[in-house]
Amino acid sequence: MTALALPPTGLRFENIDKRYGGLFALRRVSLEISPGECVVLAGRNGSGKTTLLRIASRIVSPTAGKLSFPGAVNDSAAGRPGYVAHTTMVYDELTAEENLVLFAKLQDVPEPAARAEELLREVGLFERRDSAVRTFSRGMRQRIAIARALIHRPSVLLFDEPATGLDPLGISWLAKTLGEVNRAGCTVVMSLHGESEISALATRAVQLDAGAVVADTKTGASLHSILSFGGA
Amino acid sequence: MALFSNTATLLGKELRTEFRSRELLTTTSVFILIVLVLFSFATNPGTEEAREFAPGLLWLAILFASSLMFQSCFLREQANDTLSSLRLAVSDPFAIFLAKLIANTLFLLLTEALMLPFFAIFYNITVWSQLPILSLVLLLGSFGIAIAGTAISAISAQARMRELLLPLLLLPLLTPVLVVSATVTGSLLDRDPVIQWKGIAFLGVFDMIFLTALWIFGQYFLEE
């Protein structure tokens, strides 16, 4: 399902600032994420997790600082991060299949219809492939959002609270899927609240507070502590 | 080449969603028809007076109907943040604009084609003898309106007072193209029709300048 189209890619944030008017969303954030790492961003609401992920996805430009992708081969479509946000980022009026084929074509995925079908089977929506997304439940919408992010076999995956709307079975499925893509070499960065099956995949936890990195750990006890209380 | 393939893919999406909902086409067609019907009661069809101001009225109706179209053009991309997913997916953001402005032009032209017979009947004006040149003027004028409208729609969709901002920016920007379109259409529909080639050339130049500006600055309009 998830063989990468390109070699694994890392992420490097260098002194990233993001200001909205007079409000600092991020302050001098510097992080080096190695290719293939699975990083959890933890922190209270408003701590800057979503802003950091949107900057990493290149949807938002930083006010100051530099973002780079060490190991990136070129700026081809497969080199662009896959991003799952709070919203589905797909069209409600289109069917599940039409949405995936649309984004596959835009990103030059070979055989877009076959790739869409493969992903629809993986996310368990193949039977509903001809249904408009507006008829989907919250969990199904999250599944199609995840399929859209994976469609171009990205080297970097960015997930903003990916378990939102998923039932326990859905969370297990997501943990399994994320584990597979991560083992295939994909760098995963996700924001989470609290511990779950998904956070168990993390090899590193970064805690943000008021837009700044306040903790960054790879070791067991500290990792557990951030994951347990970082989102409180 | 990626620009053209992305544009074709996105244009297909625009047409599919519109022909599925028929939201824009219905709104604009009904709006133009209402304006034409209402103003036809205010004048005596077939008189010189009606013939003189009918072209201006036609373009005014097209302008107001198109502003209804532009209001939702980028706004509906915000519902599920699909604009962000498009920006992530396309290699050139201009493809997003190009697809939307071609779609808007097609929708405008389709609305105009539906409305032209009613215009001819209500104002007792013969349009058929000048149809090829009139079609060219409608095409160039509508394309100009669509370029400016699509750009302003992208800017205003991210603003707080978007409903106010769109007409406020759009109307002054389109004044030259509207004045020229109405003048050229007026001479075409006159009892002694004259083709104002200079006016038609002006519309072509206006379109080229605005399209180039959109190509250069468009990506900044999409930034958060």
Residues A88-95 have a mean pLDDT of 93
Tokens at A211, concatenated: 């837009």
- A24 and A134 within one domain: no
* A204: its two tokens: 């590193």
The answer on pLDDT for A138 being more than 50 is yes
Tokens of A180: 């597979």
Residues A67 and A173 in one domain: yes
> Are residues A58 and A124 located together in one domain of the fold?
no
pLDDT at A6: 63
Q: Are residues A145 and A209 in the same domain?
A: no
Which pLDDT value is given to residue A232?
42
Q: Do A91 and B13 count as a contact with CB atoms less than 8 A apart?
A: yes
Q: How far is the CA of B13 from the CAs of A161, B10, B107, in angstroms?
A: 29, 5, 14
Quote the pLDDT of residue A86: 87
Give the tens place of pLDDT for each residue, A193-224: 777 778 888 889 999 999 999 988 887 766 66
pLDDT value, residue A198: 83
Q: Where is average pLDDT lowest: A43-57, A163-177, B87-101?
A: A163-177
Instruction: State the pLDDT at residue A192.
Output: 84
Residues in chain B closer than 8 A to A94 (CB atoms): 13, 16-17
Mean pLDDT of the B99-125 span: 91
Does residue A86 belong to any structural domain of this protein? no
**DSSP category for residue A48:** S
Domain interval for residue A126 = 92-153
| Residues A149, A160 within the same domain | no
Q: Cβ of B81 and A85 within 8 Å?
A: yes
Q: Are residues A122 and A171 in the same domain?
A: no
Q: Do B224 and A88 touch (CB under 8 A)?
A: no
- Of the three residues A126, A153, A180, the one that is the final residue of a domain is A153
**Rounded CA separation A198/A178 (Å):** 8
| pLDDT of A183 above 80 | yes
Residue A231 has pLDDT above 60, yes or no: no
For chain A, list residues whose CB is within 8 angstroms of any CB belonging to chain B. Answer: 54, 57-61, 75, 77, 80-81, 83, 85, 87-94, 98, 102-103, 105-108, 148, 152
Rounded Cα gap, residues A150 and A12, in angstroms: 21
Residue B124 clears pLDDT 80, i.e. is over it: yes
pLDDT at B23 over 50: yes
Mean pLDDT (chain B, rounded): 89
Mean pLDDT of B40-57: 79
Checking ipTM against 0.90, whether it exceeds it is no
What dihedral angle (degrees, nearest 10) is formed by the CA atoms of A78, A80, A82, A87? -140
- A160 and A54 co-located in one domain: yes
Chain B positions in Cβ-Cβ contact with residue A105 (cut-off 8 Å): 5, 9
The CATH code of the domain that includes A199 is 3.40.50.300
Contacting A with CB below 8 Å, chain B residues are 2, 5-6, 9-10, 13, 16-17, 20-21, 79-82, 84-91, 223-224
Among the residue ranges A69-73, A103-107, A130-134, B29-33, the one predicted with the least confidence is: A69-73
Mean pLDDT of the region B149-166: 86
pLDDT score recorded for residue B174: 92
Say what the pLDDT of residue B21 is: 84
Same domain, A77 and A159: yes
Cα A169 from Cα B18, distance rounded (Å):
36
Q: Does A212 lie in the same domain as A148?
A: no
**Which amino acid type is present at position B153?**
S
Least confident window among A126-130, B38-42, B166-170, B185-189: B38-42
Tens digits of residue pLDDT in B3-20: 899 999 999 999 999 888
Q: Is the pLDDT of residue A170 over 90?
A: no
The gap between the terminal CA atoms of chain B, to the nearest Å, is: 27
pLDDT at A201: 86
Burial B79-91 (b: 16+ CB within 10 A, else e): ebbbbbbbbbbbb
C-beta separation of A115 from A189 below 8 A: no
Report the pLDDT averaged over residues B141-170. 88
Q: How far is CA A154 from CA A89, B49, B190, in A?
A: 17, 65, 61
Q: Is the pLDDT of residue B197 over 90?
A: yes
Confidence of residue A127 (pLDDT cuts 50, 70, 90): very high
Q: Are A172 and A223 members of one domain?
A: yes
Mark whether A26 and A117 lie in a shared domain. Answer: no
Residue B182: which H helix or E strand, with range?
A: helix B162-188
Q: What is the pLDDT, as a whole number, of residue A63?
A: 93
* Exposed/middle/buried for residue B105 (C-beta within 10 Å: 0-12, 13-18, 19+): buried
- Is A54 in the same domain as A106? no
Structure confidence at residue B177 (pLDDT): 94
Q: What percent of chain A has pLDDT over 70?
A: 89
pLDDT digits (tens, 9 = 90+) for B50-97: 778 888 989 999 998 898 889 888 888 888 899 999 999 998 899 999
Decide if B80 and A59 are in contact by the 8 Å CB cutoff.
Answer: no
* Whole-angstrom distance, CA of residue A216 vs CA of residue A40: 10
Domain end among A104, A133, A153 = A153
Cβ pairs A/B, distance under 8 A = 64
Any domain includes A87: no
Model pLDDT for residues A63-89, shown as the tens digit of each residue: 999 998 887 766 666 668 999 998 999
Q: Say whether pLDDT at B103 is over 50.
A: yes
| pTM listed for this prediction | 0.87
Query: How many domains does one find in chain A?
Result: 2
Average model confidence (pLDDT) across chain A: 87
Which residues of chain A are within 8 Å of residue B84 when distances are taken between CB atoms?
54, 57, 59, 83, 85, 89
CA atoms within 13 A on the CB side of B145: 33
